[in-house]
Amino acid sequence: MNNYDRIRTENTVDNKENFYENVPEPVTGAEALLRCLIEEGVDTIFGYPGGAIMPVYDKMYDYKEKIKHILTRHEQGAAHAAQSYAMVTGKPGVCFATSGPGATNLITGIANAFLDSVPVVFITAQVTSNLIGTDAFQETDIIGISMPVVKWNCQIKRAEEIPEMVAKAFYIATTGRPGPVLIDITKDAQTSKLNYKYKKCRFIRSYNPYKPLKTKEIESAAILINHAEKPLILAGHGVLISKAENELKAFAEKTGIPVAVTMLGISCFPANHRLYAGMLGMHGNLAPNKLTNEADVIIAIGMRFDDRVTGNLKKYATEAKIIHIEIDEAEINKNVGVDIEINNDARDVLRYLIPLVNQNSHERWIREFRINDKIEYDTVIRPEIKPEKGPIKMGEVVNVVSELTGGDAIIVTDVGQNQMSAARYYKFRNPNSFITSGGMGTMGFGLPASVGAKVGKPDSQVIGFIGDGGFQMTIQELGTILHYNIPVKLIILNNFFLGMVRQWQDMFYQKRYASTELVNPDFVTIASGYNIPGEKVTEREQLAEAVKRMLKSGGPYLLEVHVEKEGTILPMVEPGASVSEVKIIK
């Protein structure tokens, strides 16, 4: 194209832009990509540039008013931040990385989003199409590598395919059971031109997320529920995803059925509600675990009977008929055999179900929960959150934060004891206010996820509870906090141990502490290198005041709390044990 042609084309483009809205116009693949993202309502992208994705980043320079790009310090950080952004906003997250190592560095983050059903659109660049398959510089088969951990992926080698594939990606990521998708775009597809026109995807022949409501099954479920004497609701992440919190509350209140939640279901039901039964699973509460095996009808809503929830499957829900409301058909009858399968969206089902169930109150049954709650409170909870002497406990820190924030903060965690303490002792009041790595249990999730949550919800107080081990896995993201002055509050629960592994060594490996004790840097000093103010707490008397100072500070803040070195998270359903054999004493 000579200069004269270029000027002519540009003029035509301008004219078209001014006078006709829907006439296709020639743009580069890179520009088309950004326009598609804007069409999908994207205004924030987490990512990291590199050789193959440079045409896209170059175009971002022109679009910086419309799309904010957060440069993380590692692609894994970008992936976790994008996931966490999606979890707090309800919008799909978007994450960019270059080819080769950029793309492979995303994998942990992609797998994490996949196991926790979070919609994230990952866009990776690929080497020029004629180099694919030749082991070119920074070439990697990211389609093959990511295949088992994405809901869908595709490679784009021609610019013309970009609008359709991006539309498809957003449709697939956000509908049905959400999940991550990946689009791999070759460098030549980014630079060559296409006639840009965008149409949102509303239909894919081979993929139907909107199944007709299973009214007959719901009616049978209602009969079962109306005759139940000891019914129990197990609410999972699906309740939050389908925005069925109000329906769940109405359903529980009408039927008087106690609501237990999975870890990812936390915050779908107010923790201070009289029907709240607490968390299920390995480190869940005593009552819901124990009483799972006494319940006569279990209504599982948007959860997948993960092994951390069920314990030994042979001794799980032994007395119960199970109703499973789940949008992903492959999850039904996968781990636990169910009596009534309702393969629909949780909110749609509950809306149809509520008028069919009778007003009820299961006072005697609920009393059993309260009795167990009292036992757990006296033996486990009170000593953990209100100890009078000895070292600071993790639960105690969480409890102070919970009280001082009134349960209104968005809590992000890493993985391990810090996560279990936050899940157990923070009194969540708002939906989608608990951001954690569930299925994958990814250490290093906490710090970048705190960044993503704060970017997504700048007006909420975002607090990350992170262990000293996990913090050092993605510690470089302090650089992102510095760069964009992201006012997150980070609390390091420092026990100088990989706490959860140490707990298992203590309980099941005769206290042989192999490679779990840590020699740590001074985290407050490290934070100060990133211009992040911080404080170290080693004594109980300092704790509340230090937390108050942290909450009051306007910017980012790091609070390092030295907690009990060999603390144990209880209760515990030991591996291989039944949920009803949950232990409250080590």
Positions touching other proteins (CB under 8 A) are 143-144, 147-148, 151-152, 172, 202-208, 210, 212, 328-330, 332-334
Rounded to an integer, what distance in angstroms lies between the CA atom of residue 169 and that of residue 173?
6
81, 42, 95: which is closest to 462 by C-alpha?
A: 81
CA distances (Å), origin 185, targets 55, 78, 162: 11, 18, 8
* C-alpha torsion angle, residues 75, 76, 80, 85 (rounded to 10): -10
Q: Which of 420, 500, 550, 572 is an active site residue?
A: 500
Rounded to an integer, what distance in angstroms lies between the CA atom of residue 489 and that of residue 550?
7
Tell me how far, at minimum, the Cβ of 155 lies from other proteins, in Å: 8
Comparing CB distances to other proteins, the nearer of 223 and 330 is 330
Comparing CB distances to other proteins, the nearer of 208 and 358 is 208
- 193-196 vs 25-28, strand pairing mode: antiparallel
Comparing CB distances to other proteins, the nearer of 133 and 555 is 133
Q: Is 465 a catalytic residue?
A: no
Q: Is 200 a catalytic residue?
A: no
Tell me how far, at minimum, the Cβ of 147 lies from other proteins, in Å: 6
Q: Is 138 a catalytic residue?
A: yes
Q: On the CB side of 482, how many CA atoms lie within 13 Å of its CA?
A: 14
Give the type of residue at 116: D
Rounded to an integer, what distance in angstroms lies between the CA atom of residue 379 and that of residue 343?
40
Tell me how far, at minimum, the Cβ of 343 lies from other proteins, in Å: 10
Q: Helix axis angle, 394-405 relative to 540-552, nearest 10°?
A: 40
Contact criterion met (CB below 8 Å) for 480 and 72: yes
Other beta carbons less than 10 A from residue 211's beta carbon: 13
Tell me how far, at minimum, the Cβ of 337 lies from other proteins, in Å: 9
Comparing CB distances to other proteins, the nearer of 186 and 267 is 186
Q: Which of 25, 31, 40, 75 is an active site residue?
A: 75
Q: Is 282 a catalytic residue?
A: no
Burial class of residue 164 (count of CB atoms within 10 Å of its CB; 0-12, 13-18, 19+): middle
Comparing CB distances to other proteins, the nearer of 204 and 223 is 204
Comparing CB distances to other proteins, the nearer of 151 and 237 is 151
Rounded to an integer, what distance in angstroms lies between the CA atom of residue 178 and that of residue 190?
27
Comparing CB distances to other proteins, the nearer of 330 and 371 is 330
Tell me how far, at minimum, the Cβ of 170 lies from other proteins, in Å: 13
| Helices and strands in the chain, H and E counts | 25, 20
Contact criterion met (CB below 8 Å) for 569 and 381: no
Comparing CB distances to other proteins, the nearer of 217 and 477 is 217
444, 449, 484, 452: which is closest to 468 by C-alpha?
A: 444
Q: Which residues of 379-394 are buried (b: 16+ CB within 10 A; e: fewer)?
A: ebbebbbeeeeebbbb
Q: Which of 91, 138, 243, 294 is an active site residue?
A: 138
Strands (E) in 382-494, as ranges, are 410-413, 434-435, 462-467, 489-494
Q: Is 187 a catalytic residue?
A: yes
Catalytic residue ranges: 75, 137-138, 187, 500
